[in-house]
Structure 1
């Protein structure tokens, strides 16, 4: 390493391209999580309905 200070050139285009790529997967993950929660809620509702129908109320 040199002790002299060197001027570094930065590419502004690289930062802009990187920012665009990170936004799209976040939306996909968000929609996948929403779909998964909907499915989980439906399965939970079915399970609870089955338990209610099988429950013996004449205890």
Structure 2
């Protein structure tokens, strides 16, 4: 993956409709927020690992 594939926009994490958030039950909203947080954490972890691999010295001598 290139760095362009990993660019995150703030718009990706903002709900399209404010009323949509208000209509959700607290349990459903918490589940949705946790799900979104896990997705973000996974993307950040992937980015961190790719950076480590790019910096890794592959000298096999």
For Structure 1 versus Structure 2, the TM-score category normalised by the shorter chain is: 0.5 to 0.7
Partners of 2:46 and 2:57 in 1: CA distance? 19
Q: Cα RMSD (Å) of the superposition?
A: 1.4
Structure 1 alignment gaps of length 5 or more: 1-22
Indicate the structure whose relative CO is greater, using CA pairs within 8 Å and at least 6 residues apart.
2
Runs of at least 4 residues off by over 2 Å: none
TM-score (norm 1): 0.59
Partners of 2:42 and 2:49 in 1: CA distance? 10
Structure 2 alignment gaps of length 5 or more: 1-23
Q: How many equivalent pairs are there? A: 37
TM-score (norm 2): 0.57
What residue number does 1:33 align with? 34
Q: Computing the radius of gyration over CA atoms, which structure comes out larger, 1 or 2?
A: 1
